[in-house]
């Protein structure tokens, strides 16, 4: 009985203390003092990670804010915290992005309370679709190579100091850099239209450790294939460094020889000189950076493999030598 009596006294004391600390003892049932102190306002901050080590900068406030999300190599999701930095609730919140290459979730929130009245903040997910799907299989179109941007618009309704309904809007400019692996190919004097409908025909040999065959740069396409003594020139026209490995198929030994490797910086070129007519196989590694799948065909390891065969076309040997800045790859001794 004594313990129950002591607990009852302590509870009563805590209740009295909390009542005495109220900012406005005149507030009636269902009312909060902040509703009469000013309108609500949006704030937005980027959330870095969703685990225990997550970090978030101070929210950006105002009608127009901006975020630079940095480079992406494939489709990527970004996370933000949405605040009500004002004093009154914001209701009927909607979130939208007018660009189909981006998506936002959620698209609506019933009520966003002032952050001083809640210990929870809604997380906003913005997805940028770049070459790969966020879920499922298949391919998505790549974003334009380089800088790209989208506009996130957040709208809602709140009340002014005088109690009138008013709209509140935050417009967030979201910028990023889309990385793309892209190359140009030249066989002797002939630029190769690797985007053409006849560019890739059939498939050939498997390289060691590969789970599938290597696509063939089409021998049926105009100008395809090179004769001994010709140059095969590969140039990096994307915006990410490419690791290049070159093999050749030894017809007498029936095996793949190589590879010879090089790092191909943006704007640089490498070349191989055909000496005795072997089929040259290229492996391009952009560090899991997407490429236009209609042009280059990445394998399950994220790399692109293709080979250039010898089809007997008569091309003037060495008539179009590569520039002095191109790096030579000697796959085998002349």
Q: Which fold has domain 34-178?
A: Immunoglobulin-like (2.60.40)
Could you tell me the residue ranges of all domains in the chain?
34-178, 183-328
Which H helix or E strand runs over 3? Answer: helix 2-20
Q: What is the DSSP letter of 28?
A: -
Helices (H), 123-213: none
* Count of Cβ atoms closer than 10 Å to residue 151 Cβ: 15
- Name which of 227, 222, 233 is nearest 186 in CA terms: 233
How much is the pTM?
A: 0.76
Other beta carbons less than 10 A from residue 161's beta carbon: 11
pLDDT tens track of the chain, all 334 residues?
A: 444 443 433 343 333 333 333 343 333 333 333 344 689 999 999 987 655 445 556 899 999 999 999 999 999 999 999 999 999 999 999 999 999 999 999 999 999 999 766 668 899 999 999 999 988 888 899 999 999 999 999 999 999 888 889 999 999 999 999 999 999 888 777 777 666 545 555 444 444 444 445 555 544 333 444 444 567 888 999 999 999 988 776 655 555 666 788 899 999 998 887 655 556 778 899 999 999 887 787 888 888 887 776 554 433 344 566 777 788 776 654 3
Which of 226, 309, 190, 328 lies closest to 269, judged by CA?
Answer: 328
Q: Are strands 269-273 and 327-328 parallel, antiparallel or unpaired?
A: parallel
Query: What share of residues in the chain are helix, strand, coil (percent, to 5)?
Result: 10, 45, 50
């Amino acid at each position: 009985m004594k313990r129950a009596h002591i607990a009852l006294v302590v509870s009563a004391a805590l209740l009295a203390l909390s009542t005495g600390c109220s900012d406005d003892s005149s507030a009636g049932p269902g009312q909060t003092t902040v509703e009469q102190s000013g309108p609500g306002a949006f704030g937005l901050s980027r959330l870095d990670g969703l685990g225990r080590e997550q970090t978030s900068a101070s929210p950006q406030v105002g009608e127009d804010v901006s975020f630079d999300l940095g480079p992406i190599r494939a489709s990527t999701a970004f996370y933000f915290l949405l605040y009500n930095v004002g004093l009154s609730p914001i209701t009927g919140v909607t979130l939208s992005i007018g660009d189909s290459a981006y998506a936002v979730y959620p698209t609506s929130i019933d009520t966003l309370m002032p952050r001083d009245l809640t210990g929870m903040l809604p997380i906003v997910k913005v997805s940028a679709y770049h070459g790969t799907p966020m879920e499922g299989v298949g391919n998505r179109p790549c974003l334009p190579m380089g800088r790209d941007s989208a506009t996130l618009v957040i709208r809602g309704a709140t009340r002014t100091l005088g109690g009138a309904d008013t709209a509140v809007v935050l417009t967030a400019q979201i910028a990023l850099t889309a990385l793309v692996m892209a190359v140009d190919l030249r066989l002797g004097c002939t630029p190769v239209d690797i985007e053409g409908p006849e560019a890739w025909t059939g498939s050939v040999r498997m390289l060691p450790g590969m789970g599938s065959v290597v696509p063939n740069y089409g021998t049926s396409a105009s100008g395809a294939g090179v004769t001994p003594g010709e140059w095969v020139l590969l140039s990096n026209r994307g915006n990410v460094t490419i690791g290049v490995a070159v093999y050749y198929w030894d017809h007498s030994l029936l095996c793949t020889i190589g590879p010879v490797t090089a790092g191909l910086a943006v704007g640089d070129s490498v070349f191989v000189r055909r000496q005795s007519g072997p089929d040259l196989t290229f492996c391009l590694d952009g560090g899991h950076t997407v490429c236009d799948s209609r042009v280059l065909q990445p394998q399950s390891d994220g790399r692109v493999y293709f080979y250039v065969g010898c089809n007997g076309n008569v091309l003037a040997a060495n008539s179009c030598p590569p520039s002095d800045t191109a790096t030579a790859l000697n796959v085998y001794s002349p």
